[in-house]
Amino acid sequence: MRNPLFGPHRRGSSGRRTDGLGWLDIIRLGLVQASLGAIVVLTNSTLNRVLIVELGLAAVIPGLLVGIHYAVQISRPVWGHRSDTGNSRQRWILGGLALLGLSGTLAASSPIAFEQSQALGLMVAIPAYILIGVGIGASGTSLLALLATRTAPERRATAATITWMMMIAGIVVTSIVTGFLLEPYSHPRLIAVTAATGAVAFAVACLAVRGVERKPALPEATQRLATASFRDSLTDVWQDRQARLFTLFVFLSMLAYSTQDLILEPFAGLMFGMTPGQSTRLSGTQHAGMLLGMAIVGISGWLYGRRNPAIARNFIIWGCAGSAVALAALALSASIAPAWPLQANIFLLGLMNGAFAVAAIGTMMQLAGQGTRKNAGMRMGVWGAAQAISFGLGGLLGTVAFDLGRWATGLDATAFAMVFGIEALLFLLSTVLAMRIATPRSSPQPLPERFAPGPVAAE
């Protein structure tokens, strides 16, 4: 007898069958997200450290390389549209992941080239990071579109939580394991570890997605007409007022989210006298808060989402408003440091960031399936491109705003307060936009509570 909790078919209160991915299927797709995170962490963190510390390059070089891979992700709508009009999203998920593994290995070989000359190193690294951006865009966009179109609406907020927490888990596990494997460090060892990580991640993803697309589609996923024209599909998205509003929300909120990335640890060092080890642990405190915020959204959606279709939007609103409060508190702390509970402040910031981010992903998945055409991939691509632009600009704008503030006032405290204040304002604007986002439509065939008390408001 098939387990009704994990099986893809359940019957609604009317006796009609309700299709969609079961929890085990969602966890399997979460393994794909974890595989993406496992490869990206080596190129965005480990390799950056090697270029700056072991090779003594200017920090702007790895910063620009990471910026390149974000810039390339503006192409996400293209990959989303191709997954919409092709016969299989799985092909784009695995193809993008394979490209990511290969290009990550190419990027890992760039330190050898940089030892010869900076020009040669850039000739290797720049194409590698361009391909990294393509791989992330093709695989990540198609994966989210698959989740959006195959997961029942009442499960999407919890599905978003599961997949994002698994991505973070993949990053953490990869960081720990590769940290041991890279000792003693050498450039060839970095290449070997990166290649092995890519191979393992690809193998896990192949097993994880196997058979998922053969699951019966949701009823609403089959009622819309697909379009073979990229322009028509993009026009359809942009003519949707809610889609435009959500695009602006994603851009502003993720800009606010990412602006403090490069200045938070310097803030802890300059204003609170923290050592590098202490400021690194502060980052761990922030991520712990994010995990808790994500978990709260996921559990709340699973328990109450079916009865409260607006639960994800409410978490977005409170998460953005809470993030604004936490950043305003950091701005205030700059003037009275070190007499401030910085750890608690950073934990609150992480908590609110995690809650709004995963709720936004859940709402994104819900809105992706509500267009007049079958173009969830295009919608995911547009929102993914907005996020990539924000992430690419955020770190740069944060450092530039800090340098300008310090130049204008001559005071570090005032400069930090200005940056945190700007972020708080961006989050307040995001809160206003979130309040204007309509509650996503619930499933026309609700599941019985004993089988799936899951969230209605999700991506």
Question: What is the DSSP secondary-structure string of 274-288?
Answer: --HHHHHHHHHHHHH
Is 321 within the bounds of a domain? Answer: yes
**Can you give the pLDDT at residue 213?**
78
Is 1 within the bounds of a domain? Answer: no
**Whether residue 250 sits in one domain with residue 152:** no
Last residue of a domain, one of 183, 216, 249: 216
CA nearest neighbour of 376 among 17, 89, 160: 89
Mean pLDDT across the chain, nearest whole number? Answer: 81
**Whether residue 247 sits in one domain with residue 193:** no
The domain tally of the chain equals 2
Token representation of residue 405: 């503030």
**Whether residue 152 sits in one domain with residue 126:** yes
**Whether residue 356 sits in one domain with residue 379:** yes
Is 300 within the bounds of a domain? Answer: yes
Last residue of a domain, one of 181, 216, 251: 216
Is 245 within the bounds of a domain? Answer: yes
Structural domain boundaries enclosing 139? 20-216
Token representation of residue 331: 């701005």
Last residue of a domain, one of 151, 182, 216: 216
CA–CA gap between residue 301 and residue 310 (Å, rounded) = 10
Report the amino acid identity of residue 26: I
Residues near 301 by beta carbon (within 8 Å), at least 6 away in sequence: 157, 158, 161, 311, 312, 362, 454, 455, 457, 458
Is 57 within the bounds of a domain? Answer: yes
**Whether residue 351 sits in one domain with residue 319:** yes
**Can you give the pLDDT at residue 218?**
62
**Can you give the pLDDT at residue 219?**
57
**Whether residue 236 sits in one domain with residue 124:** no
Is 342 within the bounds of a domain? Answer: yes
**Whether residue 392 sits in one domain with residue 253:** yes
CA–CA gap between residue 263 and residue 286 (Å, rounded) = 14
Is 223 within the bounds of a domain? Answer: no
Is 221 within the bounds of a domain? Answer: no
**Whether residue 393 sits in one domain with residue 320:** yes
Asked whether 381 and 76 are in contact (CB, 8 A), the reply is yes
**Whether residue 24 sits in one domain with residue 151:** yes
CA–CA gap between residue 363 and residue 289 (Å, rounded) = 21
Residue 274: which CATH number?
Answer: 1.20.1250.20
Tens-place pLDDT, residues 130-164: 999 999 999 988 898 888 888 877 777 788 888 88
**Whether residue 323 sits in one domain with residue 201:** no
Q: Give the pTM.
A: 0.77
**Whether residue 187 sits in one domain with residue 266:** no
pLDDT below 70 — which residues of the chain?
Answer: 1-19, 59, 216-228, 276-277, 280, 305, 369-373, 439-459
**Whether residue 49 sits in one domain with residue 170:** yes
